[in-house]
């Protein structure tokens, strides 16, 4: 007797028709340190990091569609300094895949990603928070492209190859755009330093994108996730690779208490570092791109719903 169209056997898993799976996760990490007559010295401080992630995934016999929204925001207050953020991310991701045959491990895939931050960011040396170096949509990054994705167990291991991916950089703060921040064209000045043409607010690139993600359970309550993204532009400095690499370890104490260790490394040739001029006070010289690295270790609470 023939099986109904909505039921078939695949690698010992029974397919029961199209389905949506939605998940939400909220996290809170708090740390505090205070000193009273402590002869070794120290600065009183308190830090908090809030995170929220929403996933909505669709899957049927040949298609999958993964969507996620992620928000993270952290603050630190030291007694002698202004309130300063320690983390700030707003990210939207959508990934559509089509499996041409039941036995194929390759998917035709299209991907969309957009990310920015929510509030002003400042250099560590800017104690009074007077000169922002980033803000909402300055920068903002958009990736959109298509290619092929490999994944025998695609929820755990994925390799995505896109020969055509658009990368758009937004710098909607005009003061930052005029300086040429994040790779946009800077303002044109006359001989007296007066702006005669405002800096560009967008920069477009077209290139190759390769991403790899891998989820692994190291022990009963320890999970690790590796996400690596490599991008190079066809037109501007082809072969000069932008790198975005995140490595996360989640340690589960119980259903609510968890610990997180995160490493985030970036390199983008369009993001130049400014250093104080050796000859002119108050003037900054462009020192080229640098490897950026952020590390986080926190203990807090997690809620799945």
**Tens of pLDDT, residues 9-32:** 444 555 667 889 999 999 998 888
Largest CA distance in the chain: 86
Whether the pLDDT of residue 223 is over 50: the answer is: yes
Q: What is the dihedral of CA 181, 166, 93, 29, to 10 degrees?
A: -20
Considering the chain, what percentage of its residues have pLDDT values greater than 90?
Answer: 51
**Local confidence band at 8 (pLDDT 50, 70, 90 cut-offs):** very low
Range with lowest mean pLDDT among 225-239, 243-257, 270-284: 270-284
Q: What is the pLDDT of residue 16?
A: 65
CA distances from 43 to 76, 128, 294 (A): 12, 17, 22
Whether the pLDDT of residue 108 is over 60: the answer is: yes
Half-sphere exposure (Cβ direction) of 158: Cα atoms closer than 13 Å: 23
Q: What is the pLDDT of residue 37?
A: 65
Q: What is this structure's pTM?
A: 0.85
Q: What is the dihedral of CA 66, 117, 207, 151, to 10 degrees?
A: -30
Average pLDDT, the chain: 86
Q: What is the pLDDT of residue 81?
A: 77
Cross-strand bridge partners of residue 278: none
* Spatial contact of 151 and 142, defined as CB atoms under 8 Å apart: no
* Spatial contact of 273 and 287, defined as CB atoms under 8 Å apart: yes
Residue 91 vs residue 305, higher pLDDT: 91
* Spatial contact of 196 and 189, defined as CB atoms under 8 Å apart: yes
Whether the pLDDT of residue 90 is over 90: the answer is: yes
Whether the pLDDT of residue 5 is over 80: the answer is: no
In the numeric block, which tokens belong to residue 289?
């791109």
Per-residue pLDDT reduced to its tens digit, 110-141: 999 999 999 998 887 777 777 888 999 999 99
Whether the pLDDT of residue 255 is over 80: the answer is: yes
Report the pLDDT averaged over residues 246-253: 93
Q: In angstroms, rounded to a whole number, what is the distance separating the alpha carbons of residues 259 and 277? A: 42
DSSP assignment letter at 11: T
């Amino acid at each position: 007797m023939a099986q109904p169209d909505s039921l078939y056997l695949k690698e010992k898993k029974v397919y029961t028709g199209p389905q949506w799976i939605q998940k939400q996760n909220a996290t809170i990490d708090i740390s505090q340190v205070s000193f009273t007559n402590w002869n070794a010295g120290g600065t009183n401080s308190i830090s908090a990091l809030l995170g929220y992630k929403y996933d909505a995934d669709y899957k049927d016999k040949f298609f999958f569609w993964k969507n996620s929204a992620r928000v993270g925001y952290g603050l630190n207050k030291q007694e002698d300094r202004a309130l300063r953020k320690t983390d700030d991310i707003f990210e939207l991701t959508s990934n559509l895949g089509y499996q041409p045959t039941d036995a194929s491990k390759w998917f035709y895939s299209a991907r969309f990603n957009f990310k920015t931050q929510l509030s002003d960011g400042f250099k560590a040396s800017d104690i009074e928070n007077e000169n922002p170096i980033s803000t909402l949509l300055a920068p903002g990054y958009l990736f959109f492209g298509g290619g092929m994705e490999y994944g025998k167990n695609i929820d755990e291991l994925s390799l995505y190859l896109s020969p055509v991916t658009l990368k758009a950089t937004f710098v909607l703060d005009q003061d930052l755009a005029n300086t040429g921040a994040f790779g946009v064209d800077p303002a044109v000045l006359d001989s007296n330093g007066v702006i005669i043409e405002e800096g560009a607010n967008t920069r477009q690139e077209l290139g190759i994108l390769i991403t790899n993600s891998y989820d692994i359970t190291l022990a009963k309550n320890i999970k690790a996730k590796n996400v690596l993204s490599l991008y190079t532009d066809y037109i501007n400095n082809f072969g000069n690779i932008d790198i975005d690499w995140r490595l996360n370890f989640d340690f589960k104490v119980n259903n609510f208490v968890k610990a997180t260790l995160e490493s985030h490394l970036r390199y983008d040739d369009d993001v130049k570092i400014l250093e104080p001029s050796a000859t002119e006070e108050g003037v900054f010289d462009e020192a080229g791109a640098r490897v950026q690295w952020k590390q986080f270790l926190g203990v807090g609470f997690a809620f799945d719903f």
